[in-house]
Structure 1
Amino acid sequence: MSDFAAAQQRILARRAARDAQLAAQATVEQNARNAQLLRLPPALRVIAHQTLNAWDVIKSPYGTRPAFRVGQVDAELLDEDLLELLRKQVGEGLKLFGNHLQDDWGAEIALVLQSILWKLAIWDHGASYGASLQGLQYVDARGSDSARRKPPTAWQKISYGLVTVGGRYAWTKWSDYLSNAENGYDEPSPLIRSLSRITTLAGTTHEIAAFTSFLVFLYNGQYRTLTDRLLRLRLLPSSNATSREVSFEYLNRQLVWHAFTEFLLFLLPLVGISRWRRWVARAWKKAKSSITRLRTGTSSAGQDEAEDGQKGELAFLPERTCAICYHDQNPTAGRSEQDVISAGANSGIIGNASTDITNPYEAIPCGCVYCFVCLAQRIEAEEGEGWICLRCGELVKECKPWDGDVLAPQQEAAANGSEDGARSSGRKSIAWADEVVEDEREQMEQMERTMSHLDPIPVDDEQEWEREGQNVVEDEEEEEPN
């Protein structure tokens, strides 16, 4: 380690000596040029001096000697991506307590995350996470000695945190306040309008200044942002052995992955992924049945396949429920039959319009009933190879209209044998069996309510005699005036 430190010191001393030699040479050339330019008028002298300085910079083999401009820009992008990733993770976690928390407290969440990143990165190590990944660190650029890289002072770090963390939060809250005041139900006051114009002007001025600072950064590569320029903070390589070659490994991986996904999107529709998925499902079912047969020790493979074929995935559903509609709305993967039945009240197994069969058609040859649209789409999607029924597990390739439960209700004809009564007695209707049972049950209950039996109230003989005597007295009193 001592040899390495000594080598670093020698490299820094050699670099300082070279910079001093170049500065002395530039001073000599500048003095000679100034002596030659004294013969020109003052106005032309200034223009010629600036033009010659720019030409010297352009033709110099050292150029502007930028300190990893690409690395500095990538460091800023990495910091923004890290902050956005943390914000998404926190938002996903807060969804457990309410979806409105992320929208209501988004600025405060960003403030907390930025404060944590500033403390763990800038204050503790003098470089952000993105700069550390790029092999860069902040240095105090106020001194003229380039050989000594002084770390940023405490007030520079605190000022950086106040501007980047506190300033961004304050600007966001102030903009939200003005936006709510202007877009509210009440007419905004003149003060709010003036503050809004001043805020817009300040934002535009800041954007212009930041753009100008970035153009200067592209020229000399010294200060990446406007904040770095004001605080005199520069990003320099943390080691002298850092290579100046730009790494394109991440970009190459992105390009390869993008090309691979584009190729898959072009190839999969031509191959027919549904057919492959069906083949894999059948192979998995056969392998599963074989493993089960070997585990249980049974030798009749045909019996096992027959038992599997007699019961499908949704065989427990009632007849009036479309198994395809229920499967689309309530995925049953990883749930047992008892769990699905217990959740029937919430999932709508019975009596839900979204899962009841509409325009019933029956599958051939099993005869299970589904909605016409659902059944036709599933059969057509299999491209003639058949679809596995969700109720019985058989292979379905065709369908036909469902004839239903043909019921002939017994209706009593009129006593005189009218034509209407005879016609009504011969009518038939198609309906669900459970609906007919419910109607008959309601009719029986209604008949029981209308034909109620009342027991007579017992009356004593003495009470009956007294009541008859009172009636006789009342009749005599009515006859006396006559």
Structure 2
Amino acid sequence: MEIQPAMSVEEPIRPPPPVDAWQHAYQAVAPSLESLRLTLKRPPQVNILRVNQIDAARLDVEMTAMLREQLMKVFSLAQPGLLLRYEPELNAFLELLVWRFSIWVDRPTPGSALMNLRYRDERTYSALASAGKVRNGLEGPGLTKFQKLSYCLAMVGGRYGWNRLQNLSAFQRWGDSDRSSWARRAWGFLQKSESMYKVACFFNLIVFLHTGRYRCIVERILKARLVYERPAMNRAVSFEYMNRQLVWHEFSELLLLVLPLLNMLSFRKVLSFSFSGRQTPSADFREDKCPICEASPITVPYKAVPCGHLYCYFCLRTRCISNHSYRCVRCEVQVTGMQRHQERVSLEGMDRRPD
């Protein structure tokens, strides 16, 4: 039986690709390549520590308070109460000085300098980021003149004007005027404006805690963002003193809470017994001398019931109120009451004056 050879199947010949096939393939992947290129060119997102920004604001307030204290010492010998009448003007003047020698000359405020922060115009930075001219995310120019002047008007002039309005409304008692008067309407407008501003500050605080940008409403409106001045610099503030201060503060609060609950007289007696090893004898106290305050003669003498030993009224009264089981210092008998001591005066031997 003869085996016939298998017939070979010829593969179909594929036609050559068109000349512009690579162009169609490039157009198909071009959107993905463009998104990847934009992702690589996107400026890095630098997160500024929120605690740095809050500490900077706190340090600025402390700096202004120090300047105010020094200025008050200069006028300490002047007329009493002279600076108190012009306290809003004084605060505005000091804040204006800080603004003039820091923000106006493109320098950080004292608190921002300690926290390695500076102000940056966020609008200009966004334009630089769109053009691909940003590397580490900390570039960008400072504030413009318009932003600086607006910052001064809002933070310095706004605070001064608001304080003056509050003092004027309180002094002239706008809130007690008739409902139809302009003073009552102005007072209501001030109250509503203050409430709306506080609500806006609250929402701005929530957004700030979430994003870490613009700690106050003025900075958010002006687009003035705090960024690091130098990337490789740590904060120049040591928290060792602050931690020590917090420890002593809490310790003092604990003492203020516990000391009123202690009976200091009993505590002192226990200590005296522990160190001396013997009880204080009753012979050490004279009858005409209060055993508590050691006043001689005794002021407003009262007798302790039932032992009858004499004390000053206030000394014995305070001990009995603080300790209901108070014991006499002389005889260690529990005092159950108090009685006024009536001294008997003898008239024998007194000379009469001649008529």
TM range (shorter): 0.5 to 0.7
Q: Does 1:409 align with 2:352?
A: yes
- Contact 2:298 2:312 (8 Å CA) reproduced: no
Question: Distance in 2 between the 1:131 and 1:214 partners?
Answer: 19
- Contact 1:138 1:151 (8 Å CA) reproduced: yes
1:205 corresponding residue in structure 2: 196
The AA in structure 1 aligned to 2:247 is V
Q: Using a 3 Å threshold, how does the CA distance of structure 1 residues 202 and 186 change in structure 2: closer, same or farther?
A: closer
- What is the aligned counterpart of 1:104 among 85, 106, 113? 85
1:193 corresponding residue in structure 2: 184
- What is the aligned counterpart of 1:129 among 83, 89, 110? 110
Q: Using a 3 Å threshold, how does the CA distance of structure 1 residues 368 and 271 change in structure 2: closer, same or farther?
A: closer
Q: Using a 3 Å threshold, how does the CA distance of structure 1 residues 135 and 271 change in structure 2: closer, same or farther?
A: farther
Question: Distance in 2 between the 1:93 and 1:225 partners?
Answer: 33
Question: Distance in 1 between the 2:147 and 2:184 partners?
Answer: 36
Q: Using the TM superposition, give the Cα deviation of residue 152 of structure 1 relative to its aligned residue in structure 2, in angstroms.
A: 2.4
The AA in structure 2 aligned to 1:135 is N
- Contact 1:95 1:101 (8 Å CA) reproduced: no
Question: Distance in 2 between the 1:373 and 1:116 partners?
Answer: 65
SS in 2 for 1:142: helix
Q: Using the TM superposition, give the Cα deviation of residue 240 of structure 1 relative to its aligned residue in structure 2, in angstroms.
A: 0.8
Q: Using a 3 Å threshold, how does the CA distance of structure 1 residues 193 and 259 change in structure 2: closer, same or farther?
A: closer
Pairs within 5 Å for 1:270-309: none
1:83 corresponding residue in structure 2: 64
- What is the aligned counterpart of 1:120 among 94, 98, 101? 101
Q: Does 1:227 align with 2:218?
A: yes
1:139 corresponding residue in structure 2: 120
Question: Distance in 1 between the 2:175 and 2:215 partners?
Answer: 39
Question: Distance in 1 between the 2:35 and 2:295 partners?
Answer: 103
Percent of aligned pairs with the same residue? 27
Question: Distance in 2 between the 1:367 and 1:175 partners?
Answer: 54
TM-score normalised to the size of structure 1?
0.43
Question: Distance in 2 between the 1:404 and 1:161 partners?
Answer: 85
- Contact 1:122 1:157 (8 Å CA) reproduced: yes
The AA in structure 1 aligned to 2:93 is V
Question: Distance in 1 between the 2:295 and 2:203 partners?
Answer: 76
Q: Using a 3 Å threshold, how does the CA distance of structure 1 residues 401 and 242 change in structure 2: closer, same or farther?
A: farther
The AA in structure 2 aligned to 1:376 is C
Question: Distance in 2 between the 1:367 and 1:251 partners?
Answer: 45
Q: Using the TM superposition, give the Cα deviation of residue 118 of structure 1 relative to its aligned residue in structure 2, in angstroms.
A: 2.1
SS in 1 for 2:214: coil
Q: Using a 3 Å threshold, how does the CA distance of structure 1 residues 261 and 190 change in structure 2: closer, same or farther?
A: closer
1:372 corresponding residue in structure 2: 300
Q: Using a 3 Å threshold, how does the CA distance of structure 1 residues 368 and 184 change in structure 2: closer, same or farther?
A: same
- What is the aligned counterpart of 1:28 among 8, 16, 35? 35
Q: Using the TM superposition, give the Cα deviation of residue 78 of structure 1 relative to its aligned residue in structure 2, in angstroms.
A: 2.3
SS in 2 for 1:223: coil
Pairs within 5 Å for 1:390-401: none
Higher relative contact order (CA 8 A, sep 6+): 2
- Contact 1:181 1:188 (8 Å CA) reproduced: no
Q: Using the TM superposition, give the Cα deviation of residue 169 of structure 1 relative to its aligned residue in structure 2, in angstroms.
A: 0.5
1:71 corresponding residue in structure 2: 52
- Contact 2:106 2:143 (8 Å CA) reproduced: no
SS in 1 for 2:48: coil
Question: Distance in 2 between the 1:267 and 1:197 partners?
Answer: 47
2:249 corresponding residue in structure 1: 258
The AA in structure 2 aligned to 1:76 is A
Question: Distance in 2 between the 1:100 and 1:188 partners?
Answer: 35
1:430 corresponding residue in structure 2: none
- C-alpha RMSD of matched pairs (Å): 4.7
SS in 2 for 1:151: coil
Q: Using a 3 Å threshold, how does the CA distance of structure 1 residues 127 and 402 change in structure 2: closer, same or farther?
A: farther
Q: Using a 3 Å threshold, how does the CA distance of structure 1 residues 403 and 241 change in structure 2: closer, same or farther?
A: farther
In proportion to residue count, which structure has more helix? 1
Question: Distance in 1 between the 2:267 and 2:106 partners?
Answer: 54
SS in 1 for 2:104: helix
Which one has a bigger Cα radius of gyration? 1
Question: Distance in 1 between the 2:111 and 2:354 partners?
Answer: 86
SS in 2 for 1:234: strand
Q: Using the TM superposition, give the Cα deviation of residue 163 of structure 1 relative to its aligned residue in structure 2, in angstroms.
A: 1.3
TM-score normalised to the size of structure 2?
0.56
Q: Using the TM superposition, give the Cα deviation of residue 400 of structure 1 relative to its aligned residue in structure 2, in angstroms.
A: 10
- Contact 2:178 2:184 (8 Å CA) reproduced: no
Q: Using a 3 Å threshold, how does the CA distance of structure 1 residues 231 and 377 change in structure 2: closer, same or farther?
A: same
SS in 2 for 1:209: helix
Q: Using the TM superposition, give the Cα deviation of residue 81 of structure 1 relative to its aligned residue in structure 2, in angstroms.
A: 3.4
Question: Distance in 1 between the 2:73 and 2:195 partners?
Answer: 34
SS in 2 for 1:66: coil
Q: Using a 3 Å threshold, how does the CA distance of structure 1 residues 30 and 274 change in structure 2: closer, same or farther?
A: same
Unaligned runs of 5+ in 2: 1-30, 39-43, 129-133, 273-286, 303-310, 320-327, 331-340
Q: Using the TM superposition, give the Cα deviation of residue 223 of structure 1 relative to its aligned residue in structure 2, in angstroms.
A: 1.6
Question: Distance in 2 between the 1:84 and 1:404 partners?
Answer: 69
SS in 1 for 2:312: helix
Unaligned runs of 5+ in 1: 1-23, 32-61, 280-360, 386-398, 413-482
2:324 corresponding residue in structure 1: none
